[in-house]
Each structure stands twice: as structure tokens, then as C-alpha cells.
Amino acid sequence: MTFARRSVAQIILLVLSVIGIGVSIYLTYVHYNSGALVCTTSGLVNCERVLSSMYSVVPGTSIPISVPGLLWFLVSGALAAVAWLARPALRLVRLAEFAWCCVGLLTVLYLVYVELVRLHTICAWCTSLHVIILVMLLITVVSLYNGEGNAYDDEEDEEVLPSKAASRR
């Protein structure tokens, strides 16, 4: 995989992280300032009901669940930046991105369960974050599957030593 394609994947992950950070900050702000949500409050989609439920805070605290979400996106953005700047990309960073996204997906699965089974309503803002996390996981899977993060992603990045050049003929 070439450096340009590798960079695009990491830039997309970085942009998605920034969007996730923005939404998480918005939800945290609304929680602490009791602001009005920009979201429908009728039918299946009811952000206010979800975000005012007992599940909207970290258990045993008054910290909104958006704060750990904010931290998750900050770490994701940092991993994407490190992977983008590393040349050649370190496989360890790619694996860390994948593992981190798996943790995010497990959290998303729990939160979707809470919304659908416990609360019988969903939050559009939360769902946007869930979709972002799923897309980020898919990008990391494709990156690993395509060989991104190997010591050398393609021969163009590799310095060919005379002994290697002879063995390739």
C-alpha cells in the first residue's frame, strides 16, 4: 500500500475523531448546562429521554457518558496522528488502533442495547457517534487486511540493497 493511500486512511480516522470530539463536547456541554438539545423528542428518536436517563452517566458518578466518549475520541485521534506521521507505519500502532476500535465497538453494542431494550428509544447524537466508531473500526480492519503497517507497505518505500536486488531477478 502506498504512502498516499495509507495517509488517506489515517486522515479519515483523524477527521472522524475530530467530529466525535465535537459531538462529545456538545453533549457534555448540554449535560452540564441543561441546554436544549437540537434533536427530536417524539417517537423512536428522543435524545432528551436517553440523555436524561440513569444510563447517561458513568455508574456511581454524575459524569456524563459523553466524557469517556470524548476521551475515547481523543485517544483515537492521537493514534491516527501517530500512524499518519510514522513512516513506514508501525504495525504496533495499527494494531493499537484496531484494538482501541474494538473496545469502542463493545461499548457501542452495550449502549445500543440500553437504548433499544431498556429505554425503547434512541438518541440521534449518540447514534452518530456509534456510526463513527463503526466506520473507524472498518477502516482499521481494511488497513490491517491490506497490509498497512507492515515494516514496508510496498517496494517503492523500501531501499533495495544489492543482495536483495539480485535475489529478486
Q: How far apart are CA 133 and CA 89, in angstroms?
A: 22
Q: Which residues pair with 122 in a beta bridge?
A: 45
- Give residue 161's pLDDT band: very low, low, confident or very high (50, 70, 90): very low
| pLDDT tens figures, 16-40 | 999 999 999 999 999 999 877 888 7
Written as one letter, the residue type at 108 is: V
Per-domain residue ranges for the chain?
3-168
| pLDDT tens figures, 69-109 | 999 999 999 999 998 887 666 788 889 999 999 999 999 99
Q: 64 preceded by cis ω (within 30°)?
A: no
Fold of 3-168: de novo design (two linked rop proteins) (1.20.1440)
11: helix, strand or coil: helix
| pLDDT tens figures, 106-152 | 999 999 999 999 999 999 999 999 999 999 999 999 988 886 545 44
Alpha-carbon torsion angle 42, 44, 47, 52, nearest 10:
90
Distance from the Cα of residue 21 to its chain's centroid: 10
Global pTM exceeds 0.85: no
